């Protein structure tokens, strides 16, 4: 019997994952926006978030969260971090016991500093939890371009079963049992992407971009390992791979924020003009709190945090980064 899937969230990535899964299993996607529900069901499109993509006819949408959740054998959460807990609570009364819950969200809960899988464990104790994460730009995948991702859970048996649910055609899915490391890689790289974008917005060259990505990867690896992730995870798809895609693609929301900051725009104006969420902006304060807690130096992330909260200009931050003294590459900073 095929697993039945419920996916909550009608944004670009949620819709993309639902489209991929629909080739392997029955799936129902929940969206709060009635126009999006109607567009998916009647036109096989999500014109708001993926205007150029045609969705599979097998993909069905609903505006009733209970309808999406009650029969699900797997629940997938494609909800931004600021609404993640509330939507999960709304789904709780419809979800059957022991159903695995997979997060697509690359962010931290601002009020608690928790990762999304920690929020799931808190709201839904007893449910196996995992993440689907990696260098995955929704529009490229919907255009049929090859991509690779990682399904991560601590349970080796369940993660191998779910691997086949998400693996589809040119979308290759690997497994990894380092849940903490995989999830943190997806969160932390967003902040480095803002830094790289700021450099691009200020007219920096490829050499600068390469240096920021490399030193940024060192920063997130230091913090990730200090918290409990495995070092090799940050050299893989969910660390280095995701960082390269997010730091270099014009489709990256976090890089876009950085580019606009580099051009001198205010953060509130940038966010107001964006249709989709840039998780790096919301995660920055929580990441800096974690860096302080674990006594990890993160100068690039700190500069991004100061710029996003308006206490430092992108020009000043950039000058600070390139003028900082350079010691051994193996050392922090």
User: Taking 70 as the threshold, does the pLDDT of residue 235 lie above it?
Assistant: yes
Q: Which residues are part of a known binding site for NADPH? A: 12-13, 32, 49, 106, 138, 253, 277, 279
* pLDDT confidence tier of residue 282, bands split at 50, 70 and 90: confident
Residue 164: count other Cβ atoms within 10 Å of its Cβ: 13
CATH number listed for the domain at residues 181-323: 1.10.1040.10
Q: Where are the domains of the chain?
A: 5-177, 181-323
Q: pLDDT tens digits, residue range 83-130?
A: 999 999 999 999 999 999 999 999 999 899 999 999 999 999 999 999
| Rounded Cα gap, residues 294 and 92, in angstroms | 33
Q: Which residues are part of a known binding site? A: 12-13, 32, 49, 106, 134, 138, 189, 242, 252-254, 277, 279
| Rounded Cα gap, residues 33 and 17, in angstroms | 18
pTM for the full predicted model: 0.91
Of 327 and 114, more confident:
114
The arithmetic mean of pLDDT across residues 274-290, rounded, is 87
* Fold (CATH) for 5-177: Rossmann fold (3.40.50)
Q: Are 174 and 237 in contact (CB under 8 A)?
A: yes
Q: How many residues in total does the chain contain?
A: 333
Hey, which residues are catalytic here?
A: 189
User: Taking 70 as the threshold, does the pLDDT of residue 325 lie above it?
Assistant: no
**What pLDDT sits at residue 332?**
52
Q: Are 192 and 279 in contact (CB under 8 A)?
A: no
User: Taking 70 as the threshold, does the pLDDT of residue 82 lie above it?
Assistant: yes
Instruction: Dump the DSSP string for 256-276.
Output: HHHHHHHTT--HHHHHHT-SS
Fold agreement (5-177, 181-323): no
Q: Three-class SS of residue 79?
A: coil
| Rounded Cα gap, residues 45 and 297, in angstroms | 45
Q: Which residues are part of a known binding site for sn-glycerol 3-phosphate? A: 106, 134, 189, 242, 252-254
User: Taking 70 as the threshold, does the pLDDT of residue 328 lie above it?
Assistant: no
């Amino acid at each position: 019997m095929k697993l039945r899937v419920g996916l909550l969230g009608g944004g670009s990535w949620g819709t993309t994952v639902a489209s991929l899964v629909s080739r392997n299993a029955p799936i129902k996607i929940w969206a709060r926006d009635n126009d999006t529900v109607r567009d998916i069901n009647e036109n096989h499109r999500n014109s708001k978030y993926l205007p150029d993509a045609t969705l599979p006819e097998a993909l069905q949408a609903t505006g009733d969260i209970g309808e999406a959740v009650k029969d699900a054998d797997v629940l997938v959460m494609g909800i931004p971090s600021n609404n993640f807990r509330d939507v999960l609570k709304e789904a709780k009364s419809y979800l059957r016991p022991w159903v695995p819950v997979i997060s697509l969200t690359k962010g931290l809960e601002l009020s608690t500093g928790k990762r999304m899988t920690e929020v799931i464990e808190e709201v839904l104790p007893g449910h196996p939890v995992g993440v689907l994460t990696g260098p995955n730009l929704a529009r490229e995948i919907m255009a049929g371009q090859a991509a690779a991702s990682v399904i991560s859970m601590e349970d080796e048996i369940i993660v191998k079963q779910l691997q086949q649910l998400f693996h589809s055609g040119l979308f290759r899915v690997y497994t990894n049992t380092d849940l903490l490391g995989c999830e943190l890689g997806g969160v932390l790289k967003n902040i480095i992407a803002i830094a790289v974008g700021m450099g691009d917005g200020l007219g920096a060259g490829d050499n600068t971009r390469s240096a920021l990505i490399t030193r940024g990867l060192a920063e997130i690896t230091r913090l990730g390992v200090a918290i409990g992730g495995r070092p090799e995870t940050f050299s893989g798809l969910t660390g280095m791979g995701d960082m390269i895609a997010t730091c270099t693609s014009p489709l990256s929301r976090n890089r876009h924020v950085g580019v606009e900051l580099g051009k001198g725009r205010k953060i509130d104006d940038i966010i107001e003009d964006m249709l989709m969420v840039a998780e790096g902006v919301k995660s920055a304060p929580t990441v800096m709190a974690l860096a302080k807690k674990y006594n990890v130096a993160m100068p690039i992330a700190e500069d991004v945090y100061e710029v996003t909260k308006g206490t430092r200009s992108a020009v000043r931050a950039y000058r600070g980064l390139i003028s900082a003294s350079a010691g051994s590459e193996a050392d922090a900073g």
